[in-house]
Chain A
C-alpha cells in the first residue's frame, strides 16, 4: 500500500547536483554542432530545442519529487500525524510548495525565451538568449537548494520508518519508561529492540509480528510516556501518543509493580488516568510486569487500591465491548524475565482484539453482503436417538488380525539381512509370481532368437496360425510345380555365334578404352600424331594381320602399300621401274606428296641410307647448299622452340599476373617494386 511504503521515493538531489545533472543531460542529448553559416531557421531551432529540453527535464524531475512525497492530507491520519510530529507539517508543506513554484517559474522562463528566440537574427544573439535562459533556470534551482536538502533529509528518515499497517490487527504497548515493554515485544515477536537500564532507550515506534489462531498480529512498541501536560511533551512521547490516538488496536498498559523503573505505582496510575481518554473503544489490558521482583499479592494497601481502580477501568471497556465482567481478562500478571505469564497476556490481548473486531464487523453494514453468501447447514435431528457408525463384525476381526499379522510377518528386509546383507544377497523377484504352474517360476525365456524378438511372436494360438500358414505354403508349392513346365524359349545362339558375340563385345570395349585414353590425354598432353609413328607399329604386316582377321585377303593391299611407300617414290632412278608395277600407281601421281607420305612409310632394306645424307632437290644446287639451308632453318626455330611457342605468331602469355609476383611478403628485403 502506498500509504506506508515510503521507501520508494526517489532521491532528491541537492541544488548544485540538480543543475549539473540537467545541464549535462542537455549537452549530451541535444545536437551540439552548429555553425554560423547555417540557415537562420536552423540556428533558431537548434537553440530553442536546447532551452525547451532543459525546461522539460527540470519539469519532469520536479514533478516527480512533488508527486512522490506523500500529501499529509491524503494519507492515513496516523501517518499524517506521525509525519507532523516528526517533521512539522507546515515546514514540509512549505518546502513542497517552493518546489512547485520553482517548476512554474522555470516553465515561464522557457516560454519567454523561446518567444524571444523566434526573432533572433544571428547565431551570437540566439546563443546569448539560450545562455540567459539556462542561467535563469539554474538560479531558480539554486535558490530552492535548502528546500531540496530538507526534503532529502525527510526522505531518508521516512524510508526508515517502520512499516505499520494502520488497518490490520494491532496490539499497542504503552506505559512509563523502563517498565519492560521492549522486553515483552522481544519475547513474543522476532523484533530485536534494544533493552537497556536507562530511560528512553526506545526512541521511536518498533513493529513486531506475532501469530495467534492462524492470524497475524502487529505488535507496536512505543517509547515511554511521562506524566506531563500535553503541550510539554517532546517528539518521542508524541510518537506514542499519536499511535495511541489513531490506531485501532488493543492496548496493553504496562505497570511495573516492583517500582524498579524508578517510578512509583502512584505515578503510573496518575499517568494512566491522564491518558485514559485515549483508550476509548479499545480493548484495554492492564499488565503487571516484573512479578518476579514483587508478587502481586505482596502489594501495599494503597498500591492495591490504585491497581484495582485501573482494573475497574479496564473492565468497563470489557463491558462496553459486550463481554462478561471477567476479572481475568482485565488484569494480568507476568514477568518478562522469567517468561511467566507472557503467553497468557498475548493470548488474552489477541483474543480481546479479535472479538472486538469481529463484533465491529458484524455491526457494520458491509457484513450483510458477506453473510448472505455463506450458510452453514446443520441437519435437524429427527429425534434424540443415538446413531453411532455401524462396523460389521468381520471387518473388526480382520482389522485385529491384520495388525497381529503385521508384527508376525517376515519381511524381505529381514531375509536380506539373514543372507548376508545388501551387497551379498539378491532377492528372488519371481517368488510371488502367479502362474498356472508353479514350476514355471524358474524358467528363463529367451528374448531374442535368430534376429527376431521372441515377444513379438508370442501368441496363445500361434500353433493354429502356423498350421494355416503351412497349408498355404503347401498349396503354393503345388501350384508352382505345375508352372515349372514352360520356361525355355529356345532361341539360343549357337556356340560359334556366341564366340562372335564375345569377340564383338571385346572389340567394343577396346574401342571405348582407347577413346577414353585419347580423350583424357588430348587436353593435357600433346600426342605425337599418327604419321610420325614413333613406336613403329603402323606396318603393312600389321595391316595384313588385321585384314585377315576380318576375313579378307590382305595380299593385294600389302603389295599396293609397299609399292607406294616413300622410299620407292624418292628415287628418281626407280621411278621407271615402279611404273611397270601397276596401273594404280599412275593415277596417284597427281596426288600431293604429302598424302603419299601419310601412307606406309616403311623402307625396304635395300634402300637404306646413311642418316646424315641429304638428297639435293627442292631448288637447291647441291647437297651442301641444302645442308646449310636446313641449318639456318633450324637455328631460326631453336629459340622459339625453347620458349615453347607454337609458331611465329604465338604470343600467348599463359599467366599474365602470376600470384607470386603480385602478392605476399618477402622474407627479407623491401617490396617497393611490383
Chain B
C-alpha cells in the first residue's frame, strides 16, 4: 500500500479515494477527488491553476528546494528488514517533519517580510489623498492635521453640569434612568 500524490493538486491520495486514469501510452494519472479529475479532463494546466501545489512552487509561494525533500525519495530496490533501521526510520520521520514545517513557516515569513512597510506607506498616502471625503477643505485649512474634524456643538442651557445632571427642572434629585433620559435628549438636541 502506498500513498500517492494527486497529479493535479499534489495532495496525498489515501487508499479508497480518488480515480486513476491510464492513458494509451501507459502513463498513469492519479487524482485525489473529482475536482482534480474534472480539471484534468478540461485540459487545464495545473501550473496555471492558483490553488495547486504546482502553481505555488512555480511562483515561489512555497518552498521548492530543500534537503528535507531529499530524505524522502522513492527507492525501487527493496531493502532487507532490519529492526534497528526500522525504528530509527520511524523516529526520524517525525523529526524531519518538524524541521520541514519550521522551514516552510520561515519561508512564508520571509515572503511576507516587507509587507508591513508597504502597507503603512499605502495607508499614509491614501489618508493624504482622500482626506477630503471626511474633512472639508475649509476645515483642513484651519486644522491641518489629517484627522476627523471636531464637531462643534452649541450648548443652549447655561446650567452647571452637576445641577443639570443630577436634578430635574424642579430641583428634585434624579434617578439614574432620569439622568440617562436627560442625557439622550440633550444629545438629540445637539445633533439637530
Contact status A456-B146, CB under 8 Å: no
The residues in A between 443 and 483 inclusive whose CB is less than 8 angstroms from any CB of B are: 443, 445-460, 462-463, 465-466, 469-470, 472-473, 476, 480
Contact status B75-A456, CB under 8 Å: yes
**A450 to chain B: which residues have CB within 8 Å?**
93-94, 97
Contact status B138-A551, CB under 8 Å: yes
Q: How far is the CB of B18 from chain A (nearest CB, A)?
A: 15
A662 interface hit (Cβ, 8 Å): no
Contact status A504-B89, CB under 8 Å: no
**B162 to chain A: which residues have CB within 8 Å?**
none
Total A-B pairs in contact (CB under 8 Å)? Answer: 157
Contact status A503-B148, CB under 8 Å: yes
The residues in B between 67 and 87 inclusive whose CB is less than 8 angstroms from any CB of A are: 67-68, 71-75, 79-83, 85-86
Comparing A5-13, A488-496, A526-534, the segment that makes contact with chain B is: A488-496
Q: How far is the CB of A63 from chain B (nearest CB, A)?
A: 51
Contact status B151-A548, CB under 8 Å: yes
Q: Which of B117, B121, B151 contacts A549 (CB 8 A)?
A: B151
A501 interface hit (Cβ, 8 Å): yes
Q: How far is the CB of B83 from chain A (nearest CB, A)?
A: 5
Q: How far is the CB of A548 from chain B (nearest CB, A)?
A: 6
| Per-residue interface assignment for chain A, residues 503 to 515, with 1 indicating a CB less than 8 Å from any chain B CB and 0 otherwise | 1110110000000
**A491 to chain B: which residues have CB within 8 Å?**
117, 120-121, 124
A545 interface hit (Cβ, 8 Å): yes
Distance in angstroms between the alpha carbons of A82 and B2 in the assembled complex? 79
Q: Which of A452, A476, A492, A548 contacts B93 (CB 8 A)?
A: A452
Contact status A493-B124, CB under 8 Å: yes
Distance in angstroms between the alpha carbons of A499 and B68 in the assembled complex? 47
**B106 to chain A: which residues have CB within 8 Å?**
476, 480
**Count of residues in A whose CB is under 8 Å from the partner chain:** 57
Contact status B152-A460, CB under 8 Å: no
A552 interface hit (Cβ, 8 Å): yes
The residues in A between 356 and 380 inclusive whose CB is less than 8 angstroms from any CB of B are: none
Q: How far is the CB of B51 from chain A (nearest CB, A)?
A: 19
The residues in B between 134 and 188 inclusive whose CB is less than 8 angstroms from any CB of A are: 134-136, 138-140, 143, 145-152
Contact status B150-A551, CB under 8 Å: yes
B96 interface hit (Cβ, 8 Å): yes
B38 interface hit (Cβ, 8 Å): no
B88 interface hit (Cβ, 8 Å): yes
Contact status A493-B120, CB under 8 Å: yes
**B97 to chain A: which residues have CB within 8 Å?**
450, 452
Assuming the contacts A492-B120, A500-B134, asked whether A452 and B148 have C-beta atoms less than 8 A apart, the reply is no
A194 interface hit (Cβ, 8 Å): no
Assuming the contacts A443-B81, A469-B99, A552-B136, asked whether A452 and B72 have C-beta atoms less than 8 A apart, the reply is yes
Contact status B93-A437, CB under 8 Å: no
Contact status B139-A552, CB under 8 Å: yes
Residue of chain B at shortest CB distance from A549: B151
Q: How far is the CB of A232 from chain B (nearest CB, A)?
A: 78
Contact status B117-A504, CB under 8 Å: no
Distance in angstroms between the alpha carbons of A452 and B14 in the assembled complex? 10
| Per-residue interface assignment for chain A, residues 121 to 165, with 1 indicating a CB less than 8 Å from any chain B CB and 0 otherwise | 000000000000000000000000000000000000000000000
Contact status B130-A447, CB under 8 Å: no
Residue of chain B at shortest CB distance from A501: B127
B25 interface hit (Cβ, 8 Å): no
**B42 to chain A: which residues have CB within 8 Å?**
none
Contact status B120-A445, CB under 8 Å: no
Among B81, B86, B146, residue most surrounded by chain A Cβ atoms (within 10 Å)? B81
Assuming the contacts A457-B92, A469-B96, A551-B139, asked whether A437 and B148 have C-beta atoms less than 8 A apart, the reply is no
A577 interface hit (Cβ, 8 Å): no
Distance in angstroms between the alpha carbons of A492 and B123 in the assembled complex? 9
Q: Which of A449, A463, A549 contacts B88 (CB 8 A)?
A: A463
Distance in angstroms between the alpha carbons of A452 and B133 in the assembled complex? 56
Q: Which of A451, A453, A541, A550 contacts B135 (CB 8 A)?
A: A550
Q: How far is the CB of A66 from chain B (nearest CB, A)?
A: 54
Q: How far is the CB of B80 from chain A (nearest CB, A)?
A: 7
Residue of chain A at shortest CB distance from B74: A456
Distance in angstroms between the alpha carbons of A466 and B98 in the assembled complex? 12
Assuming the contacts A450-B94, A466-B96, asked whether A503 and B146 have C-beta atoms less than 8 A apart, the reply is no
A436 interface hit (Cβ, 8 Å): yes
Distance in angstroms between the alpha carbons of A446 and B89 in the assembled complex? 11
**A443 to chain B: which residues have CB within 8 Å?**
81, 83, 86
Contact status A552-B138, CB under 8 Å: yes
Distance in angstroms between the alpha carbons of A547 and B151 in the assembled complex? 10
B20 interface hit (Cβ, 8 Å): no
Distance in angstroms between the alpha carbons of A505 and B121 in the assembled complex? 16
Contact status B120-A453, CB under 8 Å: no
Contact status A458-B2, CB under 8 Å: no
Assuming the contacts A456-B75, A552-B136, asked whether A447 and B2 have C-beta atoms less than 8 A apart, the reply is yes
Q: Which of A440, A469, A504, A552 contacts B67 (CB 8 A)?
A: A469
| Per-residue interface assignment for chain B, residues 110 to 122, with 1 indicating a CB less than 8 Å from any chain A CB and 0 otherwise | 0000001100110
Q: Contacts A457-B92, A489-B116 given; 12 further ones with Cβ under 8 A?
A: A452-B3, A457-B93, A462-B71, A462-B89, A472-B67, A493-B123, A496-B147, A500-B147, A508-B130, A508-B133, A550-B134, A552-B138
A-B contact pairs, 11 of them (CB 8 A): A457-B93, A459-B85, A460-B82, A462-B92, A491-B121, A500-B127, A500-B148, A503-B134, A508-B130, A549-B134, A551-B136
Q: Please provide the 7 A-B residue pairs with the shortest distance between their CB atoms, ordered closest to farther.
A: A551-B149, A551-B139, A496-B147, A550-B136, A466-B92, A504-B130, A552-B136
Residues of B at the A interface (CB closer than 8 Å) are 1-3, 12, 67-68, 71-75, 79-83, 85-86, 88-90, 92-97, 99, 102-103, 106, 116-117, 120-121, 123-124, 126-127, 130-131, 133-136, 138-140, 143, 145-152, 191-192
